[in-house]
Each structure stands twice: as C-alpha cells, then as structure tokens.
A = this chain, B = another copy of it.
Amino acid sequence: MKKSLIALAVLAASGAAMAQSSVTLYGVLDTGLTYSKGKESVYGLTHVGGNTNSRLGFRGVEDLGNGLKATFNLEAGMGVDDGTDYFTGNGMAFRRTSTVGLAGNFGEVRLGRMLTSSYLAVSRYDAFGDTGIGASRAWGNGYAPRAENAISYTSPSFNGFKFGGEYGFGEQKKARTSRYIGVGATYDNGPLSLGVGFDRMNDVAFAELDDSVTPAVVEKWSDDLTTWQLGGAYNFGVAKLLGFYKQTKYKEVGANDSAKFKTFGLGVTAPVGAAGELRVAYNHYRVSADGGKTPKANQLSAGYVHNLSKRTALYGTYAYLKNKKDANMGLQLNGAMSLGKDAAGNQLLNLSNSGVQHGLQLGIRHAF
C-alpha cells in the first residue's frame, strides 16, 4: 500500500487566523475473553478493557510565548467488542476527558470534564490501576473518578510534591445537586511515591431493586459522598510494593441514614524478564452502617502482562472475591457484558449471600 504524507492544515474558527499546530490522534484498543462465575456464570468479550481501558482521543498543545501554553484533550471511551461508547452505550462522546486549559509556571488550569486530582493521587496504588477484573472495588459504588462542568487546577512539581483540585458546578437552581469538590496531593521521589485525596460529591442519585416486597419496587434516593483516601508505593527494583486505604461516607440527603464503605488494598508488581510484568493484589472491603451488620468481602487478584512491543501486549488476570456477613459484592466487571448492573453501573452476577465469585480475563491491548 503506497502512502502519501498528509498535510493537515490548521485553521482558526474565524477562517482567517492560522498557525502551526500539533494535534495528536491517539487511542487504545483493549479486549479479550472475560469469564465470571458466581451463582451463575457468564462469558463473552471484554467491553471496557482488561489491561488499559479502550479509548480514542485528540490532544494538542500551543505555545503562546512567555512560558504560557494552551492545551486541550478530547477522549472518548469505546468498547471494542461492539463499537459503542461505554459511557453513553451508544455514540462516541468525550466522556473520558474533555478539557481546554492554560499551562505555565503556575501549573495548569483546565475547564471541562476530567479525572479528579483525588482519584489520580491514590488510584495509582491499585496494582491493577482500576482496570479489568483484577481491579479494586474501591473506585466504584457511586464514587465518580471524574468531575464535569468543572474547573481543575494542577500545581507544578515542588521537588516531587504536587497538588491539585477540582470544583464541579451543579448547574441546577438547587445549586448543590451534582456539585463536586475535591483535592489531591502526591509526592514522588525516586523509588518512593505517596498520595492523598479528599472528595465531596453532593446529591448523588442511587437506585436499587428491592425484591423483598411483592411486587418488587425500585427504591431511589440520593446521598452526599465524602471520601478520604491515601496510598503509597516503594519500588525495590525486583518488585514494587503498593498499598492504599480509602473510605467513602454515604449520607442520605434529607435523612439520618449514613454508611461507610472502606477498602484496604495491598499489591505487588514485578518485572519478569524484559517484556513481562506480574501483578498481585489483595483487597479487603468493609461496610459499616448505622446500627446494622458489617458486611465484608475479600478479593485476591493475580495477573500477568506480556509486552509484544511498546504498543501491544497480551495479558491474563484471575480474580477471586469472597463475601462475608450478608455482603453481596461482586468483581468489577465494568460493563463487560449484558448482565444486570447495580446502581453504580458495576455489573454483578447473582451471588448467594456469603458467596464467592471467580473471574478470568485473557486479552490483548493495542495502543496507537
């Protein structure tokens, strides 16, 4: 196939202004086989991603002089298995990232929809990086890793120390609905890495099928979510040790009910030869509700990634989750397949109480 160099013209919206440009088209396609077994079993093709969540994006930087830069990023999430956007369930929207901003010595200010500083500061201590069946449940359950209608600030690095935060407008007459505020800070120095984050989300909507009554009803309510999380890692060379703690308090709006969801996560990643990486993680989950039982669950995940090149890898992940004390948690199937979803959008197999779930993913990740 003969190829021709392409000349992409850069044209400002006015049709008159023009300048040299740098727009980057990039993407990740990640899919493979997902098998999961609880009370029932299901198998199919991975929807969101098993190693790196699939995406298609455009980004660019313009040098404005005097150390000032304009930046933008538009990134959609597509499920390779069926070609749809895994946020909209339909056409591609830039729901992973949609930002325009200014960067300089002062750091970077961005407007739009983006991963929050708090999430970024601590989710990196999940050995499976909140991706695939091995990921921790810590980043689900109504906790949103992204803010929208938001202003974001990220500081420059002060000897390895950085911080940032987001404020997301509710854009309602009743202004607190959907409002987000959060901050995160990180410290990176050679082998040592630390992170801490705080989030508050107002009036997050929840829904749950209550089939203890006949006919079954869908209960709807909204909660204020307050999250504290911190984590750290140390790279010993032969292996990297990771750990984090996260707790989210759910306070029902207009009621006295509240509950806490806590996650203790531990992980190890280790290079295997020049092209391989081993990952092991343990997660302990604990729910403490007002005057009730304390549902708990434990999860063990193990995975191996084999890089065929810098852009392409094959991987396999196995995960095992065991519920205790009336807990009814499942692995993060992340919309992998067509089963019912819980209120947080996680897909759950029907587990019996105190049940067990196994999950397996074998896949390919290709970046361009």
Contacts of A8 in B (CB 8 A): 3-6, 23-25
Instruction: Check if A331 is an interface residue, CB within 8 A of chain B.
Output: no
8 Å CB interface, A33-74 against B: 40, 42-45, 52, 55-56, 58, 60, 62, 64-65, 68, 70, 72, 74
- A207: interface (CB < 8 Å): no
Q: Which B residues touch A30, using CB under 8 A?
A: 100
A337 interfacial contact with B, CB 8 Å: yes
As a 0/1 sequence over residues 179 to 209 of chain A, the CB contacts with chain B under 8 angstroms (1 = contact) are 0000000000000000000000000000000
Instruction: Scan residues 335-366 of chain A and give those whose CB is less than 8 A from a CB of chain B.
Output: 337-339, 363-366
Q: Which of A90-98, A219-227, A229-237, A246-254 contacts B (4 or more CB under 8 A)?
A: A90-98
**Cα(A21)–Cα(B12), bound, Å:** 21
Q: How many copies does the complex hold?
A: 3
Contact mask for chain A residues 121-136; partner B; CB cutoff 8 A; 1 contact, 0 none:
0000000000000000
Contact of A367 among B7, B13, B80, B95 (CB under 8 A): B13
A51's nearest neighbour on chain B, judged by CB, is B13
Given A173-B40, A311-B19, A311-B62, also A11-B367 (CB < 8 A): yes
- A301 within 8 Å of B (CB atoms): no
Residue of B nearest to A14 (CB): B52
A22 to B70, CA, bound (A): 26
Known: A10-B26, A92-B92, A93-B90. A366 touches B311 (CB 8 A): no
Note all chain B residues with C-beta closer than 8 A to A22. Answer: 3, 6-7, 9
- Please give, as numbers and ranges, the residues of chain B lying within 8 Å of A212 by CB-CB distance: none
A17 at the interface (CB under 8 A from B): yes
Closest to A12 in B: B367
Q: Name the residue among A20, A52, A68, A151 with the largest chain B CB count within 10 angstroms.
A: A20
The interface size bin for chain A is 35 or more
On whether the beta carbons of B82 and A148 are closer than 8 Å, the reply is: yes
Question: Could you mark each residue 92-124 of chain A with 1 if its beta carbon is under 8 Å from any beta carbon of chain B, else 0?
Answer: 111111111110000000011100000000000
Kindly list chain B residues whose C-beta atoms are within 8 Å of the C-beta of A172: 42, 338-339
Q: Which of B21, B83, B170 contacts A6 (CB 8 A)?
A: B21
**A7-B5, A112-B45, A308-B64 given; A58·B27 CB < 8 A:** yes
Give the distance to chain B from A263, nearest Cβ to Cβ, in Å.
24
Interface residues of A in 271-326 (CB under 8 A from B): 308-312
Q: Are A45 and B6 in contact (CB under 8 A)?
A: no
Asked if A238 is an interface residue, CB under 8 A from chain B, the answer is: no
> Which chain B positions have C-beta within 8 A of A2?
9, 18
Residues in B neighbouring A309, C-beta threshold 8 A: 19, 62, 64-65, 70
- 7 tightest CB-CB pairs across the interface, nearest first? A91-B91, A83-B98, A83-B94, A17-B310, A44-B171, A44-B169, A29-B100
Given contacts A1-B11, A80-B98, 9 further A-B contacts (CB under 8 A): A17-B310, A29-B100, A43-B175, A62-B311, A62-B368, A81-B98, A91-B91, A111-B363, A171-B337
